[in-house]
């Protein structure tokens, strides 16, 4: 009987030991993962798909607006070259003004038709990136590891492949999305440090674009009404010029040219001194 | 009258002697950085611990006048020796070295997540990093002739600014939901 009790106790001790060992192994797994730092996954397939779709919607909108905007540019040029500004009562100028106004209304129509889809695509990209940024960089990263991740990017190729930052590239919106998509789809398993900058860049662009789209949608109804009234007078208003300028800026990247944020790349040489005091 | 004059001149002579006594901790450091560091370490060992900051600034001035890639290593060794002497703590040594001679920013450190630690004080962190960049300009570019590392630090600050703006906006949107 005592030996049966002993055997039972041993079995319990043995089972307890195995459970303890399993717990130690399981417990040590995240710790050992933590040594090399958390893996930052900013561009899962869902985010990539959102970016690709936003690029497609932007391209469709550009294609629809390109011809109308070109026509408006020519009419505007004709209006200016004919010295029509302030030439009230001139029949030729009135005609050019009305044509310009009609083209402007056409542009507003296309925009009001296309903007809801654009808004949906932009908001989807913004929301999915917002969630990833909050989880991966906001909650799973410390300031120290964030700095390490950003500094890890030292290869010249990573910088060379990167599109110019914060919408200052002077390229079409759809091309910028193609650049973003290509960059993140080819590098999403590696070079997570450069992707932190790209993800932040796209997110801030999308946030800005989302507000602009909402403001533009609010303005379109008012602008269309104003222009319908102006059609009877054939005037070109500063608001018209501003709206057209804004659309060209967002879609085609015109009238930009500020310097990009990133500086030339730097590769740390092998012979660099590394202090034992260094972080 | 003559006795008064003699006494007065004797008093003046005594007071002149006392003011002329040199301050042991005051030191005129020369242009050789290694020799200057040795002098400083001797002074620090001799009870001049409170002059450490002014010595360090003088050493930086000497390094600035004689820029060399080796200066980074000289400062690292000097700070470690001063730490061994017990004048400054290991943390202070690391802080000083990294502030002046490392690409990484001491101002951007922490063990808690970015949403809770950095975002509430983002403007202050970036302002501190900007001030630190000025010190890196002195340590990396002017004293160590390492402009590439300084430009990397400059880029790091700009990228941090961008990433923190996006991350903190995402954190705020999450907490508002």
State the pTM of this model.
Answer: 0.69
Contact assignment for A266 to B173 by CB distance below 8 Å: no
Which has the closest alpha carbon to B59: B100, B18, B4?
Answer: B100
Please, what's the b/e burial string for A242-271 (b: 16 or more CB within 10 A of its CB; e: otherwise)?
Answer: ebbeebbebbbbeeeeeeebbeebbeeeee
For residue B3, what pLDDT is reported? 63
What are the chain A neighbours of B170 within 8 Å (beta carbons)?
129-131, 133-134, 137-138, 203
Confidence grade of residue A160 (pLDDT, cut at 50, 70, 90): very low
Q: Which residue has the higher pLDDT, B165 or A65?
A: B165
Q: How far apart are CA A129 and CA B13, in angstroms?
A: 81
Q: How far apart are CA B5 and CA A66, in angstroms?
A: 103
What pLDDT, in 10s, does the model give residues A253-270? 665 444 433 434 444 444
The mean per-residue pLDDT over the stretch A3-30 comes to 40
What are the chain B neighbours of A273 within 8 Å (beta carbons)?
69, 72-73, 76
What are the chain B neighbours of A263 within 8 Å (beta carbons)?
151, 154-155, 158
| pLDDT at B128 exceeding the cut of 80 | yes
CA distances from A77 to A73, A80, A104 (A): 6, 5, 14
Q: How far apart are CA B82 and CA B89, in angstroms?
A: 9
Contact assignment for A262 to B152 by CB distance below 8 Å: no
What are the chain A neighbours of B163 within 8 Å (beta carbons)?
137, 146, 150, 196-197, 200
Contact assignment for A165 to B102 by CB distance below 8 Å: no
Q: What is the CA radius of gyration of chain B?
A: 24
Residue of B nearest to A155 (CA): B152
| pLDDT at A192 exceeding the cut of 80 | no
Which has the closest alpha carbon to B44: B69, B81, B70, B19?
Answer: B81
Q: How far apart are CA B145 and CA A253, in angstroms?
A: 39
The mean per-residue pLDDT over the stretch B122-151 comes to 96
CB pairs under 8 A between A and B: 142
Whether this model's ipTM surpasses 0.95 comes out as no
Contact assignment for B159 to A262 by CB distance below 8 Å: yes
| pLDDT at B127 exceeding the cut of 90 | yes
Q: How far apart are CA A139 and CA A137, in angstroms?
A: 6
For residue B147, what pLDDT is reported? 94
Contact assignment for A200 to B166 by CB distance below 8 Å: yes
Contact assignment for A142 to B110 by CB distance below 8 Å: yes
- What residues 121-160 of chain B have any CB closer than 8 A to a CB of chain A? 125, 148-149, 151-152, 154-156, 158-160
Q: Give the gap in angstroms from C-alpha B117 to the nearest C-alpha of chain A.
A: 8
Structure tokens at B59: 């050493």
Q: Which residue has the higher pLDDT, B135 or A237?
A: B135
Average pLDDT, chain B: 90
Q: Are B107 and A144 in contact (CB under 8 A)?
A: no
Contact assignment for B165 to A137 by CB distance below 8 Å: no
For residue A164, what pLDDT is reported? 47
For residue A4, what pLDDT is reported? 46
Q: Which residue has the higher pLDDT, B12 or B94?
A: B94
Q: How far apart are CA B88 and CA B73, in angstroms?
A: 18
What pLDDT, in 10s, does the model give residues A208-238? 888 888 887 887 877 777 777 666 555 556 6
Q: How far apart are CA A198 and CA A207, in angstroms?
A: 14
Q: How far apart are CA A176 and CA A115, in angstroms?
A: 18
Residue of B nearest to A272 (CA): B69
Instruction: Identify from A38, A137, A154 which residue to disrupt to test chain B contact, counting B C-beta atoms within 10 A and taking the largest count.
Output: A137
| pLDDT at A205 exceeding the cut of 80 | yes
The mean per-residue pLDDT over the stretch B144-170 comes to 95
| pLDDT at A67 exceeding the cut of 50 | yes
Q: Which residue has the higher pLDDT, A224 or B169?
A: B169
For residue A15, what pLDDT is reported? 42
Domain-wise residue ranges, chain A: 40-252
B173 touches A at CB < 8 Å: yes
Confidence grade of residue A159 (pLDDT, cut at 50, 70, 90): very low
What pLDDT, in 10s, does the model give residues B7-25? 556 555 555 555 556 788 8
What pLDDT, in 10s, does the model give residues B37-69? 999 999 999 999 999 999 999 999 999 999 999
For residue A174, what pLDDT is reported? 74
Instruction: Identify from B103, B163, B168, B176 which residue to disrupt to test chain A contact, counting A C-beta atoms within 10 A and taking the largest count.
Output: B163
Q: Which residue has the higher pLDDT, A251 or A175?
A: A175
What pLDDT, in 10s, does the model give residues A86-138? 767 788 888 888 888 888 888 888 888 888 998 899 899 999 999 999 999 99
Instruction: Identify from B155, B170, B177 which residue to disrupt to test chain A contact, counting A C-beta atoms within 10 A and taking the largest count.
Output: B170
For residue A234, what pLDDT is reported? 53
């Amino acid at each position: 009987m005592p030996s049966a009790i002993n055997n039972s106790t041993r079995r319990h001790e043995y089972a307890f030991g195995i459970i303890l060992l399993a717990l130690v192994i399981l417990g040590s797994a995240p710790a050992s993962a933590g040594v090399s730092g958390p893996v930052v996954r900013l561009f899962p397939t869902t985010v990539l798909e959102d970016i690709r779709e936003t690029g497609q919607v932007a391209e469709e909108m550009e294609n629809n607006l390109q011809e109308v905007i070109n026509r408006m540019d020519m009419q505007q040029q004709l209006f200016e070259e004919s010295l029509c500004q302030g030439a009230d009562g001139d029949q030729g100028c009135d005609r050019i003004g009305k044509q310009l106004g009609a083209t402007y209304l056409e542009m507003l129509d296309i925009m009001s038709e296309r903007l809801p889809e654009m808004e949906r695509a932009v908001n989807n990209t913004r929301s999915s990136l917002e969630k990833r940024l909050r989880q991966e960089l906001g909650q799973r990263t410390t300031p120290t590891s964030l700095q390490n991740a950003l500094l890890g990017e030292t290869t010249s190729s990573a910088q060379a492949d990167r599109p110019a930052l914060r919408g200052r590239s002077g390229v079409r919106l759809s091309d910028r999305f193609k650049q973003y998509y290509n960059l993140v789809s080819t590098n999403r398993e590696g070079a997570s440090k450069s992707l932190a900058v790209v993800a932040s860049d796209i997110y801030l662009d999308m946030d800005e674009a989302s507000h602009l789209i909402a403001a533009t949608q609010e303005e379109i109804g008012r602008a269309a009404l104003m222009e319908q009234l102006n059609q009877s007078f054939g005037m070109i208003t500063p608001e018209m010029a501003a709206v057209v300028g804004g659309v060209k800026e967002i879609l085609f990247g015109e009238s930009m040219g500020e310097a990009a944020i990133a500086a030339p790349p730097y590769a740390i040489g092998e012979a660099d001194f590394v202090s034992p005091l260094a972080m | 009258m003559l006795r008064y004059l003699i006494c007065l001149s004797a008093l003046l002579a005594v007071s002149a002697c006392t003011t002329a006594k040199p301050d042991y901790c005051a030191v005129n450091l020369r242009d050789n950085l290694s020799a200057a560091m040795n002098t400083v370490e001797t002074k620090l060992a001799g009870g001049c611990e409170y002059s450490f900051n002014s010595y360090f600034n003088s050493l930086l001035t000497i390094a600035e006048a004689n820029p060399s890639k080796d200066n980074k290593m000289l400062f690292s060794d000097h700070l470690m020796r001063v730490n061994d002497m017990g004048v400054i703590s290991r943390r202070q040594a690391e802080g000083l070295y990294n502030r002046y001679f490392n690409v990484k920013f001491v101002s951007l450190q922490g063990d808690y997540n970015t949403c809770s630690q950095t975002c509430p004080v983002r403007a202050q962190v970036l302002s501190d990093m900007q001030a630190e960049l000025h010190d890196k300009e002195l340590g990396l570019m002017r004293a160590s002739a390492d402009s590439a590392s300084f430009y990397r630090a400059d880029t790091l600050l700009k990228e941090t600014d961008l990433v923190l703006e996006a991350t903190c906006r995402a954190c705020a949107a999450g907490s508002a939901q």
